[in-house]
Amino acid sequence: MLLAIAPMTSIHAQCNNALQWTLSRNWSNGFNALPDICTNLQEFQSQYNKNQAQWDAMFKWLAGHDLQTIPAGRHPIEGTSLVVSVEDSENGALETRASESHYHHIDFQYVVKGTERFGLLDHDSSYPNCAYKPDVLHYDYDAKKAHFIDSTPERFFLFFPSDWHIAKVATDKDSQQIRVIVVKLDYVP
């Protein structure tokens, strides 16, 4: 019985460590939002530690710009290969939105204005519906088994390779207009 308890205690300690690390905001470089509760915090901490320069540059850039007024478009982060995509967009009906995952990148997504809904796909009922293209794979899925979460400016989303997701899904709000920041960070295995 002791053998069964030890691994669970270790997992709990790792989760607690990742939560404490996240809440410390030592990674944030002045960026105020926190990761959404659905974020795999252990993966966040691990990826940050494996590629700290890239994460630090992104968070510093985000904290140093007025994300409400910066022109829409692509903005390179100086000294890195990262590009910040500022998108003035609109949520759409679920059936018009593409599902996706990425093997080599982490999707950082942050809604600056409005409310964006994300769908998180159930792995047991979802399967690829196309050939892998550099760096995206799309899925057929059971919408009844997907989990939907609304994003607001207080939190950001990180989609790791195992996070099959759908962005810009229509909400129950009157306005579907949104401003979104998207950055593709390198995923380090």
Task: Print pLDDT tens along the chain (189 aa).
Answer: 444 545 546 666 788 999 999 999 999 999 999 999 999 999 999 999 999 999 999 999 999 999 999 999 999 999 999 999 999 999 999 999 999 999 999 999 999 999 999 999 998 888 788 888 888 888 889 999 999 999 999 999 999 999 999 999 999 999 999 999 999 999 999
Q: What is the pLDDT of residue 53?
A: 98
Burial of 166 (0-12, 13-18, 19+ CB in 10 A): buried
Q: What is the pLDDT of residue 2?
A: 47
Burial of 81 (0-12, 13-18, 19+ CB in 10 A): exposed
Q: What is the pLDDT of residue 7?
A: 56
Q: What amino acid is encoded at 46 in this protein?
A: S
Q: What is the pLDDT of residue 28?
A: 98
Q: Are strands 127-128 and 139-140 parallel, antiparallel or unpaired?
A: antiparallel
Closest of 91, 100, 87, 92 to residue 181, by C-alpha: 87
Q: What is the pLDDT of residue 137?
A: 84
6: which 2 tokens?
A: 């030890």
Burial of 122 (0-12, 13-18, 19+ CB in 10 A): middle
